Amino acid sequence: MSTAWVWERIEIREGDLTRIACDAIVNAANTSLLGGGGVDGAIHRAAGPALLAECRKLGGCPTGEARITRGYDLPAKYVIHTVGPVYHDGRHGEPELLRSCYARSLELAAGHDIRTIAFPAISCGVNGYPLADAARIALTTTIAFLEADTRIEKVYFVLFLPEVLSAYKAAFLELRDEQVSK
């Protein structure tokens, strides 16, 4: 597969994840999967009470893993819930757990014939992950997946805050330039 095609399959945009019309959106959830603040709360409010009812049946989700539910009142058919790590200092498994969030979400999506998926900036809110590091992990993990697997046609990173959008765009351009210079 052409590396150029991988770059074309990734789009970074500012916006509200709950308004994105794609096959699945990813929820930066807590381990209970029962809603919370930030992206998690917004997704639960937009999806309606049926999402919470389905999440109760799942029995939670460990950090670094992912679970899938229907999207209910969202424009997306599915919600993939993943639990990002709380950032301490980067030496307590945080990079591996964050990488796992993206990898498990993409694997789950591909396994459910999901062609388009939209991610938030996992762990970048109250979990305190440094933006530049989180963006690079998100993108390198996604790029590696897309190079190996063609089932997902488009991955969106839908970022709510301008500073998060800037960090993801900078990481994307840096990674693309590194690839071009190889």
pLDDT for res 42 = 96
Which H or E element spans position 155? strand 154-159
Instruction: Please state, in angstroms and rounded to a whole number, the distance separating the CA atoms of residues 141 and 98.
Output: 9
Instruction: Please state, in angstroms and rounded to a whole number, the distance separating the CA atoms of residues 152 and 144.
Output: 12
pLDDT for res 3 = 58
| Residue 54 main-chain phi, psi, to 5 deg | -70, -40
Q: Which residues of the chain have pLDDT under 70?
A: 1-4, 182
pLDDT for res 7 = 86
pLDDT for res 1 = 43
Tell how far CA 164 is from the center of its chain. Answer: 13
pLDDT for res 6 = 83
* CATH code, domain with 44: 3.40.220.10
Range of the domain at 154: 3-180
Query: Total domain count for the chain?
Result: 1
